[in-house]
A and B are shown apart, each in its own frame.
Chain A
Amino acid sequence: MKEIFFVFFTAAVLNNFVLTNFLGICPFLGVSRKKGPALAMSGAVIFVMFIASIFTWMIYYFLLKRYGLEFLKIPAFILVIGTLVQLIETFMRRFAERMYDVFGIYLPLITTNCAILGVTLININREFTFHNSLVYSLGAGVGFGIAMIIMAGIREQLEYVDLPKALEGVPIALLIAGILSMAFQGFAGTVTLLK
């Protein structure tokens, strides 16, 4: 139980996926202008990350590793993620129309989202067991969501601020992310406390 909490906490807060590992920066900068879309994007990312982790873990250990095909890891994973996103989109459109209205437009963007491929590769690189990889992917998704929502909250207020022209848009978003990241560095000591 303690280990599961530790894995989750590491992925979500300690090594926050966006602010410390820089995975998923594109949607983090692109879809964080308003809280609504930011929330929907986070939901879609958590969902796809979780399912992609299940499939890639099984494919790696039951297929690639068993037959000595580890070198196919990168093409195999990215294809699996692409196919999954397609499938999820089709299923959602058919069976969960309301969900599709909210998440739908963000799903295609997720295929080339480095956070998804990143989490599946980390699961393999760190040799996580199956349940740890699930917890880790869930934590990573939640961490992405936390960063997204904080950022969207700040950027909504930013609309009313008089900024230097050169800093408008992405530059100021990066500077704010830098300050947020600094705040997240403050969690660095908590691992020893947990242990």
Chain B
Amino acid sequence: MNLKNFTKGLWTDLPVLRVLLGFCPTLAVTNKAANGLTMGLATTFVLLFSSSLISIFRRWIPSRIRIPIFIVVIASFVTIVDYTLAAYYREMHKVLGIYVPLIVVNCLILGRVEAFASKRPLGDSILDALGMGIGFTLVLVVLGSIRELFGFGTIFSHQILAKPYEPMVIMIVPPGALLSLGLLLGLMNLVSRRLEERR
């Protein structure tokens, strides 16, 4: 087991911002930090369990039909998440709506399963899935916090910007998602280039 498999998901291969995968949920459910967190954790759960299962059975999965098998495994765990949310967190399930079943087609998950878990032992796959999942969750929470802060004046429903501040509705409607993710991505490019130059 190599701890690098875990840490790479948090910076060098940070999902969305450095490896450009998983845009749909990132844009769709980040109007509040809590929504982003739920989506991030749901995705991490699916990624963790699909990676582990596929890593365990990697020797017995025929390589010609591996993609359909991966998709069925992922879809099963997504169904578990979907029904669990619907049973215990009805409000959140309603807010996230169709984007919970759409975790199936999040290219981040299929990408990690195909590129990593189907070739590596269980321990490494678990570390990789956890790192990527937590990295993805972090990005969603950061973007969600930025949008919630400017759009509602709150973060995780705690008041930060009080009365004289006028909330910007643009941040919580779809254009705000695209604009803030675009700027965040630009900022990320700037920072990582600066860091590389220094090295």
Question: Shortest CB–CB separation between residue A33 and chain B, in angstroms?
Answer: 14
Distance, CA A162 to CA B175, complexed state (A): 24
Tell me whether A112 and B101 are in contact in the complex, defined as CB-CB below 8 angstroms, given that A175-B183, A181-B174 are known contacts.
Answer: no
Q: Does B79 contact A (CB under 8 A)?
A: yes
Query: How distant is the Cα of A117 from the Cα of B183 in the complex, in angstroms?
Result: 29
Q: Secondary structure at chain B's binding surface: helix, strand, loop or mixed?
A: helix
Q: Dominant SS at the A interface?
A: helix
Known: A21-B28, A174-B185. A71 touches B79 (CB 8 A): yes
Given the interface pairs A174-B181, A185-B173, the reply to whether A114 lies near B105 with Cβ below 8 Å is: yes
Q: Is the CB of B193 within 8 A of A121?
A: no
Indicate with 1 or 0, residue by residue over A152-195, a CB within 8 angstroms of chain B CB atoms.
00000000000011110011111101110110010000000000
Q: Which residues of B contact A112 (CB under 8 A)?
A: 105, 107, 110
A101 vs B72: C-alpha distance when bound (angstroms): 30
Question: Provided the pairs A29-B23, A121-B98, A122-B98 are in contact, do residues A79 and B71 lie with their beta carbons within 8 angstroms?
Answer: yes
Say whether B174 contacts A26, CB under 8 Å: no
| Known pairs A74-B104, A175-B179, A185-B173; A165 contacts B72 (CB<8 A) | no
Asked whether, in the complex, the Cβ of B78 is within 8 Å of the Cβ of A74, the reply is: yes
Q: Known: A22-B27, A74-B79. Contact between A79 and B72, CB under 8 A?
A: yes
Q: Judging by beta carbons under 8 Å apart, are B178 and A174 in contact?
A: yes
- B27 and A25 form a contact (CB under 8 A): yes
Nearest-neighbor residue (CB-CB) of B28 within chain A: A22
Contacts of B110 in A (CB 8 A): 112
Q: Using a CB–CB distance below 8 Å, which chain B residues touch chain A?
A: 20, 23-24, 27-28, 67-68, 71-72, 75-76, 78-79, 82-83, 97-98, 101-102, 104-107, 110, 170, 173-179, 181-183, 185-187, 189-190, 193
New contact pairs (13) apart from A19-B174, A166-B186, CB-CB < 8 Å:
A22-B174, A29-B20, A29-B23, A73-B101, A75-B71, A166-B190, A167-B186, A171-B186, A171-B189, A172-B182, A174-B182, A178-B182, A185-B175
Can you offer 26 A-B residue contacts whose CB atoms are under 8 A? A20-B174, A21-B28, A22-B23, A22-B28, A25-B24, A25-B27, A29-B20, A72-B79, A75-B71, A75-B79, A78-B104, A79-B68, A112-B105, A117-B101, A125-B97, A165-B189, A166-B193, A167-B186, A170-B20, A171-B185, A171-B189, A174-B185, A175-B183, A178-B175, A182-B175, A185-B175
